[in-house]
Structure 1
Amino acid sequence: VYLRALVADVASSGDDQRTDPGELGDPQFDLVQSGWYWQITRLDSEKPQIRASRSLFATRLPKLAESGVPAGMGGARAGYGAGPDGRALRIVERQISVGDAGLYLIQVAATTEDLEAQIGRFEVSLAVAFVLLAAGLLATTAFQVSFGLRPLRRLESAVADIRRGAADRIDGDYPTEIAPLADELNLLVSANREVVERARTQVGNLAHALKTPLSVLINEAGGSDDPLAGKVREQTALMRDQVSFYLDRARAAARAGAIGAATEVGPALEALARTFRKIHRDREIVFPAAMPDLRFLGERQDFDDLVGNLLDNACKWAASKVELSLGLEPAAAGRSRLVVTIDDDGPGLAPDMRAEAMRRGRRLDETKPGSGLGLSIVADLSGAYGGALALEESPLGGLRAVLRLPAA
């Protein structure tokens, strides 16, 4: 920069005007042996004319051309030499011709320590500038991404509300790029509900079509003591139970596939408590004193069937007491599972018999009423919801049934 300023000054004024060091913008050129120097030498006169900064005082800068330093682009040279005080200098020089005004050698020099200090300060400033620039770019990018993804987060929340049963459809205004997706999701939810409703209707029609002929057969065979009639009654009753099981299973599977169904657990359990306390007056049936605010991610009828079958089984086998408790446990993907635990003080089951008890139609005691399908239905239906049924030993001495279901 200083060299270009001196070249411009000499080219414009020739030898008629001295260059004031103050115009170079650095007062160090005016301090004796400050480490910053400039020098202008006229080469084409018999006696070289020299102008120099005050910092050189009575000394002169060495010429790089005489030291064998080759010229670079534009005739400029750069190299090192000894300064007035013996310190190493970084020297830059250039030879220019100003026509009739003569031939000049212009030199600017500074100590290597000063140059390295300035370079270090420049590098620090540059690093700080780059860090600030990078921080600004990162902050701007983060803001843009956050702002751009905000509609997608709203859409995600709306879909989660539908899955939990808190909403029936996606509402709200969305950008033009996302609005078609929201509309398609609403159509998908509606189509799912229509499919489930048609499945329910078809299963109901099938149940009516099958149960009526079976009831006729049972009634016709009921009035006869003939062994054949007894066999017909036995087999038709078995057929009716099997038909009921598979129809219930198909109906439950259709309901489990519905999107957005959710059931308040408290009111459902209160209704079950009233029913079973009336049916089993000789049993002490204990429910939670205060019903927790929990929700089952599924149909109310399925929840009644699941818990009702387990309560019915416990009341049949209990000596005097049945106890129900509720809880939540963490599950995969940040979701929770509803845990329904039912204990009885009956005879219980040996570990090797518990899996057998959940087999379809398996009755471990023929003296107890029923078709043997209750636990099997609970296991199948809870599995359709992504849950599970486990049988364990109860602290009351009998059997503990642990039912895990998705929580809304």
Structure 2
Amino acid sequence: MINFTSLPLFTSSGVTATGTKTQKSLDVIDAIYPPILILVGVTCNVFIILVMRTKQFCRQSTSVFMTAGAVNDALSLVISMTTHWLYVSFDGIYYRNEVKGICKFLDFYGWGNCDFGILITSMMTVDRALAMMFPLKFKTKSIRRARIIVVILAFIVVAKEFHFLIGSNMVPESRKERLCDVYPGTESYQFFWKRVWPCLHLVYLSVCFIIIIVSNTILVLQLLKSSKFETNFRKTSKFKENSRIDECNNLNYNARVRRQLHTIVPMLVGESLVLLILTFPFSVQLSISGYNPDFYSSPDMGLLFSATFYMLYTNKCVTFFVYLVTGSKFRQSLKQIFRRCIQGKDSVRRTQFDNFSKWYTAKGDHSKQVWRRTSSDIWSTDTASRETMMSDIQMAPKFVVSTHL
């Protein structure tokens, strides 16, 4: 019978057998840290999903990628991390004969989940980089395109991780740092696992990390460039009121698109940096070990594996806090969700309507002032300038309406 109260912190098999401080530290980490990750990570990812369904984000393609990433992270914590925690914390909870095929699924899903998360971040940064570079040509609200990309990424991950359904199996009882590992049964699969797979996985990670770095560099440069653009546009709108209205409409639309993307760019840059910091050590550790099962036989190497492994899954929890710090609209949407839960939908709708009414009134007063100032300037100019300004006034109502919409 399984004793669910016997944590490794109090068992004789862990502390008494080894008698080392490293093993004691590893037992404490294995017993306490995983449930914290599961509880915090699932809660935070649920909040991300709820925020992505609000009006501020649901019409943007980035919301599809962020929602897919949050669902992927939450399921990973519930399935993979829970299974790992039960194995390292409770002795004898998994029997080899009773759960014979569990490792085939766990390795396939665990590796695929992490690779899918990296792919989601890569494609999300590429999507935003293209939108920042070509705001008029690139459709920033193409939800259908983003969904198709997510499905294609899922198929790529399945094809890459399919071999784990063949060679994965439970580790011997002497190993406690993980539940499953790959044990090649044939020479061809051993050649693939020892020679082909490390190179394939290294190339995969290198390409994804390079894409993330390049895309974030483009995002930062375009963000700085668009900030200068908005400053120049405001000066142009203030001192050059005699310019063509159609040109102003194009510039105004360009500025609105860039301002909309500004709310997402800091979130993407922050998420990408955290992803690189927390996932890179685990990849380096796998490269050092050479995928050799005997590498983790000592307590020190077991502690190294647990440290990098938990860093990898910590990345699935901190995304919410990165969005919270870097995204102003994310914080506003989260406040609306809490206000809706506490005060009800009617109160939130009344607040939104009052804010819109104030904005619309202020915008209308500003347009009237511009109209009066332009009309008064007609009679103080020469005949040529007067005819140009009269033609602009005839087009002005169209411009005013378009800015309100």
Give the alignment's TM-score, normalised by structure 1.
0.20
Q: Greater share of strand residues, 1 or 2?
A: 1
Q: Greater share of helix residues, 1 or 2?
A: 2
Q: Which has the higher contact order (CA 8 A, sep 6+)?
A: 2
Q: Which has the larger Rg?
A: 1
Give the alignment's TM-score, normalised by structure 2.
0.20
